Chain A
Amino acid sequence: MQPALTLAPRRLGVVNWLGLRTLYLKEVRRFAKVFTQTLVSPLVTTLLFLAIFTLALGRSVQQVGGVGYAEFLFPGLVMMSMVQNAFANTSSSLVIAKIQGNIVDLLMPPLSPLELSLGLAGGGLTRGICVGLVSTLAVSFLLPIHVHDWFFIVFHAIGASLMLSLIGVLAGLWADKFDQMAAVTNFIIQPLSFLSGAFYSTQRLPDLWRTIAHLNPFFYMIDGFRYGFIGHADGSLLAGVIVITSADILLGLLLWRLFAIGYKLRP
């Protein structure tokens, strides 16, 4: 006798694991499909920056933070690339979905605000980590890479990618047009990441500028990540861990709340 097939709505437990997994995979496949734009192109940019800064400054700047200029520079470049890509992944995903109207694919399925936040942020985080791995691997053919402390490398890679991935979701929720997104990238994300001390040691800035530089959250990501490689930090490592952890938690809570009230998503 055949067991009767019951037709009924799918029942979910506390967490809709299948839905969460599907959303996450959708976000990852979205960038994996165009990997030449999302993984290879950041890698080329990182290598170009490494080349031009080493060519331009390698002869006049011998030692920074106790290592050669190129070794000082590369962790910052890799981190910049990771966070910019994590941001780009989530922000572009949401803005495009809003403009093309397929945002309903996110709103209609039985996904809770928390699941939405996790799925989207997870996609951006994954892109950041992938970019970081690919870039570090490529640079390792050109430079000797030493690992001083794995904890700081892994912590900052994940913490920073997650942070910018969350900021990307927030920006994507807020923006209604591509222009607004471009403005956020051009006038907030890029300046903050370029002025983060990736290219120079903040220890040699005048006091006022050093204080300002240390107010930039990007400074802690790059400083801590670089410490993991070269064993030298410009600022306080503990402060960095606290800043990034608390920023991740606060942004995550804010995002959860915004999805819960349907900010800019539901009329």
Chain B
Amino acid sequence: MSIGPALGPRRFGRVNWIGTAALYRRETWRLQKDYLDSLLGPALANLIFMLILTVAASGGTMGGGMASGSGTTVAGLPLTDFIAPGLIMFAAGERAFSAACVSILFDKLEGMIGDVVMAPLTSGERLAAFAGASMSAGAISGVATAAVLWPFAHILPVHPAAFFYFLIAGSLLLGFLGTVAGLWARRWDHYAALLAYFLVPFSYLSGMFYSTVGLPELARQLIALNPLYYVIDGMRYGMTGYAETAIGPGALLILVLDIALAGLLYGLLRSGWRLKA
């Protein structure tokens, strides 16, 4: 008759569920601790963005409230409704990217990356935990921004399924990119450079603030090469029912990109690229 649990190494089956969940929780909590900077800061910045665009666009016809956006329309939508999806996606994407990148880079610089590399986790489990954490960070940030923009635009999605699909798939896309960036970077300078020269231009030049209808042909073609264009267009479809491109192929494209990046990242984690000596 045995008394108490047997002492011995913990046994687990094919998947180390406890380990994966622990890594996910660690990555999520360390980010939510500084919620003031990570949630409210971007949400406030986006709100201000919306206000200044509305005021700047209103021409000489400032009649009503500052934020009503009355009069100015883009592609038949009130300006605020047109740009809100882009702002929400930008907040989510920026957060997902930074969360993933900062987390890995910080651990590498502080010498704590051993905690992740040494734990009995397979590459797939690490990938799942990292991706899950950055995706949740992005989605939470997106929803927080949506809540702040609530009084100024029609936030409630017309097609909730499309809205959430693109929010999650888009956050995942930027989360994967952020993880690759975190593995690649060796210094904080690298992270700052990635933000300034890659993420921000990539996000801003995605048809977030303006309709591509009526842009010069070259600009349209360049924007059409930006995957974020399809994410933002899909989000806009989810929120307003208006889309510039076909939603199905856009959704498929993002899915394919997510799977391809997951595959790449799996390979990188397996090989220990820039993680293991």
Contacts of B214 in A (CB 8 A): 59
B122 to chain A, nearest CB (A): 35
The 0/1 profile, CB within 8 Å of B marked 1, for residues 169-196 of chain A is 0000000000100110011001100110
- Give the docked Cα–Cα distance between A183 and B39 (Å): 11
Contacts of A199 in B (CB 8 A): 52-53, 55-56
Q: Quick check: is A205 within 8 A (CB to CB) of the other chain?
A: yes
Please determine whether B209 and A37 come into contact, CB atoms closer than 8 angstroms. no
Q: Quick check: is A52 within 8 A (CB to CB) of the other chain?
A: yes
A67 to chain B, nearest CB (A): 14
DSSP majority for the B interface? Answer: helix
Please determine whether A41 and B192 come into contact, CB atoms closer than 8 angstroms. yes
> Which of A43-51, A104-112, A133-141, A242-250 lies on the face that meets chain B?
A43-51
Q: How many residues of B contact A (CB 8 A)?
A: 37
Write the chain A residue with the least CB distance to B51. A195
Q: Quick check: is B136 within 8 A (CB to CB) of the other chain?
A: no
Contacts of A40 in B (CB 8 A): 196
Please determine whether A55 and B196 come into contact, CB atoms closer than 8 angstroms. no
Please determine whether A57 and B41 come into contact, CB atoms closer than 8 angstroms. no
Interface residues on A, range: 20 to 34
Please determine whether B57 and A56 come into contact, CB atoms closer than 8 angstroms. yes
Contact of A191 among B48, B83, B201, B219 (CB under 8 A): B48
For chain B residues 153-193, which have a beta carbon within 8 Å of chain A?
A: 189, 192-193
Q: Quick check: is B143 within 8 A (CB to CB) of the other chain?
A: no
- Give the docked Cα–Cα distance between A209 and B52 (Å): 13
For chain A residues 137-186, which have a beta carbon within 8 Å of chain B?
A: 179, 182-183, 186
The 0/1 profile, CB within 8 Å of B marked 1, for residues 7-49 of chain A is 0000000000000000000000000001011001100110010
Please determine whether B205 and A205 come into contact, CB atoms closer than 8 angstroms. no
- Give the docked Cα–Cα distance between A51 and B44 (Å): 22
- Give the docked Cα–Cα distance between A53 and B60 (Å): 17
Contacts of A45 in B (CB 8 A): 196, 200
Q: Quick check: is A61 within 8 A (CB to CB) of the other chain?
A: yes
A163 to chain B, nearest CB (A): 21
B216 to chain A, nearest CB (A): 10
B224 to chain A, nearest CB (A): 15
- Give the docked Cα–Cα distance between A206 and B60 (Å): 11
Please determine whether B189 and A34 come into contact, CB atoms closer than 8 angstroms. yes
Q: Quick check: is A100 within 8 A (CB to CB) of the other chain?
A: no
Write the chain B residue with the least CB distance to A187. B44
Contacts of A266 in B (CB 8 A): none
- Give the docked Cα–Cα distance between A45 and B40 (Å): 22
Residues of chain B at the chain A interface (Cβ within 8 Å): 34, 36-37, 40-41, 44-45, 48-49, 51-53, 55-60, 62, 66, 72, 83, 189, 192-193, 196-197, 200-201, 204-205, 208-210, 214-215, 219
The 3 nearest A-B residue pairs measured at CB: A186-B41, A41-B196, A56-B210
Q: A44-B196, A52-B208, A187-B41 are in contact. List 16 more A-B contacts (CB 8 A).
A: A37-B189, A41-B192, A41-B193, A45-B196, A45-B200, A48-B205, A52-B209, A53-B53, A53-B209, A61-B56, A182-B37, A190-B45, A194-B48, A195-B48, A199-B53, A200-B58
19 contacts between A and B (CB under 8 A): A36-B189, A37-B196, A56-B53, A57-B53, A57-B56, A60-B59, A61-B59, A182-B41, A183-B36, A186-B45, A187-B40, A190-B48, A194-B45, A195-B48, A204-B55, A204-B60, A205-B55, A205-B62, A206-B62
Residues of chain A at the chain B interface (Cβ within 8 Å): 34, 36-37, 40-41, 44-45, 48, 51-53, 55-57, 59-61, 179, 182-183, 186-187, 190-191, 194-195, 199-200, 204-206, 209
